Every structure is written in structure tokens, then in C-alpha cells.
Amino acid sequence: MENPMYQDLKGQTALVTGAGKKSGIGYAIAEKLAQSGANVVLADFIPSQEEKTPLLIAAGLKEMTALADSLAGQYGVRALFVEVDVTSTASVDQMAADVKAHFEQVQILCNNAGTVLGVPSAVHTYDENAWLKTIDVNLHGVYRVSKAIVPLMMDTGGAVINMASRAAKVPPLFNGAYAVAKAGVVMLTKVMARELAGSGIRVNSVCPGVIDTDFTRWRFGLEAQILNATEEARREEMVQTIPLGRLGASEEVANLVAFLASDQSSYMTGQAINVTGGQLMEL
Ligand code: NAI
């Protein structure tokens, strides 16, 4: 069924990074855009055995390709899965070449890929490789993918949406590299918004609070271990800090991304918009 709100997205092409997991925010975004009739490229990382971490448990190539195929079948759009490691320029450039070969142009770029390594750790004890890698995925990945894909957006104009976090604005404990990277994403968004305004490309970022995904379940598990509590107790404690009284759903982040991709947000650029159930309120 099409989403009648965003008819202008019909026939556009969207690339969403970190979209190969059905439970994740990236897939929810790809599905929401496909519902509005956009063609979608789902890009994601397939870690080698050595690269696997508790958070990098994405499905394999077969499952990710099946996700793209199911979106194509369900919504009557073109959908493609492309493997990418956003920390590798060669891999990102290969992804851009594949996207160009299939779709020629792109109108919507959603930089959603993200991860956390080396936590929990205070800055003064943080493992250097984990610190650098966390910033590489979350911040430099956005730069690399934008550098490769924005040229494909120049002829038509469009929208870039970067996934930041509440952690970009409120310092989390013992998760410094991620917070610094996401704060960088907010500023990178503003820089790109100014640079690309004259080319008809709007650039905004999204700052989710606590969204119910693998990422969050992993975090609660970790915190429960440290605090000698149960995962359920950690979740309950978190819920108490959220005025709307529950965690967010991936689809609720996807709703905001679709709005920012569409002409319905035509006078918005350079913003960092909270989707936190009221956990973060700013003037
Ligand atoms: P997730 O862990 O389920 O998904 C992240 C995706 O990024 C995965 O598919 C993973 O394979 C991909 N990825 C990781 N490293 C990559 C690399 N080197 N190259 C390409 N792809 C890579 O997490 P979730 O929750 O869906 O998060 C999506 C985005 O939302 C992330 O940027 C995260 O930081 C952000 N976010 C999530 C929040 C939450 O509560 N779940 C809160 C605030 C922000």
C-alpha cells in the first residue's frame, strides 16, 4: 500500500546505508520510502569473521538481498541490495558505481550506518583503535558516502538525511567516541546544508532517543552487566526518563526521515531534529 502523504517521492531513488537488518532503523526507512513509491538501495556491511562484534550481527548477503526483493515485490518499486563498508573509500566508491549503473541518479541519501566499539570506557582509558573506528564508521562514513553520492544528486536536487543521535547533544556516560562522532554528524549536516543549498539539496539530521532495535537491546544488556541488574530493569529505568513512557519504534524515526525527504519539508535545511518521546526538549 502506498503512503499517500509523500506522492512526490514516487519514482525517486533513495540510498539508505545500514539498511540490511529487518529489525533496524535503516530498513524501516527504506520500507517507508518504498511505501511512497521511491526506488530503494539498501546498503550494508557484511563483516568477516574477525570483524564481527556483538553489534555487527547483520544478516548475510542472501538475507539482505531477500529484504530488497521483498520491498520490490510488496511496493512495486525497484530495490537493490549493495554491500558496503563505509570505512573503506574503495568500497564506498564501488557502491556509488553500482548505484549509478542501476539508477543513474539519486534524489534521497540517508546516511544511517552506525556502530559503537570499545564501550563502556572513560575517555582516559578508551582503547585507541576502538575510539578511531567508532568515529570512522559514524562520522567519516557519512563524509565518504556523501562525497560519492552527492554528485549523483546534483542534476535533480534532493535531500540528504544523516542519522545523528540524542547522544550528539547530551553526553552519555562511557560512550565518548560515539557521542563525539554524532556531534560531528550534526555539524557536518549544517556544513553540507549551507554548501548544497544552491544546488537544491536540503540536508538535515535526525537525533533519535532510545529506539527499540538490536542496538538498544545490546546496550541494555551491557548496562545490566555493569550495574549487576537485569536487562528488563535497565529498560524500565530508561522508560522512566521518557515523558511518553515507552521506547521509540524504528518506524517512528522512519516517519521523520520520509518527511525530511519529501517536499513537505521544503523550507527545512541544516536542522538536527529530536525524535525522543520528549526525553530531550530544547528551546
Ligand atoms: P543497528 O545496529 O541495528 O543498525 C546499524 C546498521 O549499520 C547495521 O545494519 C550495521 O551493519 C550497519 N553498519 C555498521 N558498521 C557499518 C559499516 N562499517 N559500513 C556499513 N554499514 C555499517 O542499529 P540501529 O538502532 O538500527 O541504528 C541505526 C542508526 O541510528 C545508527 O546510526 C545509530 O547510531 C542511530 N541511532 C540509534 C538509536 C537507537 O536507540 N537504536 C538512537 C540514536 C541513534
Which CATH superfamily includes the segment(s) 7-209+249-275?
Answer: NAD(P)-binding Rossmann-like Domain (3.40.50.720)
Parse the chain into domains and list their residue ranges.
7-209+249-275, 212-247
Q: Which amino acid is at 170?
A: V
Alpha-carbon span 88 to 90, nearest angstrom: 5
Q: 256 pLDDT exceeds 90? A: yes
Instruction: Report pLDDT digits (tens) over 104-130.
Output: 999 999 999 999 999 999 999 999 999
pLDDT at 259: 98
Which residues lie with the beta carbon below 6 Å from any ligand 1 atom? 17-18, 20-21, 24-26, 44-45, 55-56, 58, 84-87, 112-115, 137, 163, 165, 208, 210-211, 213-216
Alpha-carbon span 39 to 42, nearest angstrom: 10
Instruction: Report pLDDT digits (tens) over 3-60.
Output: 457 999 999 999 999 999 999 999 999 999 999 999 999 999 998 888 888 777 667 8
Alpha-carbon span 37 to 192, nearest angstrom: 27
Share of the chain above pLDDT 90, in %: 89
Judged by DSSP in three states, 92 sits in: helix
CA of 198 from ligand 1 middle (Å) equals 30
Residues 214-238: what's their mean pLDDT?
92
pLDDT at 3: 47
Q: What is the CA radius of gyration of the chain?
A: 18
Residue of 22, 44, 279 best suited for mutating to test ligand 1, as the one with most atoms within 8 Å of CB: 44
Instruction: Report pLDDT digits (tens) over 152-205.
Output: 999 999 999 999 999 999 999 999 999 999 999 999 999 999 999 999 999 999
